[in-house]
Amino acid sequence: MEYKTEEEFLKNYDPNQFDRLSMTTDILLISVSSKKQDNYRKTSKKMMSILLAKRDDYPYRNMWCLPGGFLNPKSETLEECAKRVLKKETNLSNIYLEQLYTFDDINRDPRMRVVSTSYIALVDKNRLDQKISENVSWFDIILYVEDENSVHITLDNGKINFSIEIKKRLKEKTTDRYQFVAEKNDHLAFDHSIVILSGIERLKNKINYTDIVFNMMPEYFTLGDLQQVYEVILNKKLLDPAFRRIIANKVEKTEKVQTGEGHRPSALFRYKK
């Protein structure tokens, strides 16, 4: 059939000629947690932490998963959907958000074909109310890189902890990405262990050429704290003078000082755009 105008064509268009599917967004809400040390002199240890929700429904009942939600195709974009989920979980609207990757293995959801676009969200924990939803919890991330091809992620929320081993397997040379393969695990639902690893790698990469790290920092921070966050994300120690040179033009010194730490007080800095 031949139409004269685009308008006429659209009026007769049948949207059911192609099979349809459901989409979701998954949110990697990442922040930094501090753990007080036994020794009163020592600075509190920093960790990367991530928000997980406990599933009380099938599928993957009683396992943990990334917060997420189904897209309403009629009324919202994926980013708006992600913001809606974030608002629900944190009660905040103004959170740094960036699209990570679209995961779409055919059997990633046992219910039906679901394609999921994941987003990284970075937040300073101090901005959050204590009272977040009941069935979500912050898990510290401990990353152990066994070798080039194998990574262990340990997640710990203070009450329970579990580890997942993820193998990186090179796909045929036509694709860029490693094929991440999670070993069978009884704690993380769907393909979310792979989403988490992808997000950590993105962060590790982007911290070097962007200022995203400041989305996880409070307004005033010491350079020691900032350096620890870098070290946690990059998963390696940095030398003080080198670090200070790198971030020198990204921060500005304030009049404020942090004392009461059992050692020389440190100046508080602020992010400079």
Partner DNA sequence: CCAATAGTGTCTGTGAGACAGTATAAG
Partner DNA sequence: CTTATACTGTCTCACAGACACTATTGG
At residue 198's C-alpha, the angle toward residues 194 and 200, to 5°, is 115
* Residue span 159-198 as binding mask against its own copies, x where in contact by CB under 8 A, dash where not: --------------xxxxx---------------------
125 makes contact with its own copies (CB under 8 A)? no
Per the listing, tokens 């989920």 go with 85
Closest CA to 54 of 110, 123, 134: 134
Q: Binding to its own copies (CB under 8 A): which residues in 204-263? A: 210, 212
Residue number, 22 or 157, with CB nearest to its own copies: 22
Is position 160 an interface residue for DNA (rule: CB under 7 A)? no
Q: How far is the CB of 210 from DNA (least distance, A)?
A: 15
Contact 50, 141 (CB under 8 A): yes
Query: Distance (Å, rounded) from C-alpha 176 to C-alpha 122?
Result: 26
- For the CB of residue 201, give the shortest distance to DNA in the complex, in Å: 19
> What is the residue-wise DSSP string for 66-131?
--EEE--TTT--HHHHHHHHHHHHHS-S--EEEEEEEE--TTSSSSS-EEEEEEEEE--GGGS-S-
Q: Considering beta carbons, is residue 23 or 136 the nearer one to its own copies?
A: 23
Which tokens sit at 71? Answer: 């897209």
Q: Does 223 bind DNA (CB under 7 A)?
A: yes
Q: Contact with DNA (CB under 7 A): which of 145, 160, 170, 246?
A: 246
Q: Which amino acid is at 121?
A: A
Positions touching its own copies (CB under 8 A) are: 3, 6, 9-10, 13, 15, 18-23, 57-61, 70-79, 94-99, 101-102, 104-106, 110-113, 115, 117, 173-177, 210, 212
Positions touching DNA (CB under 7 A) are: 39-43, 222-224, 238-242, 244-246, 259-267
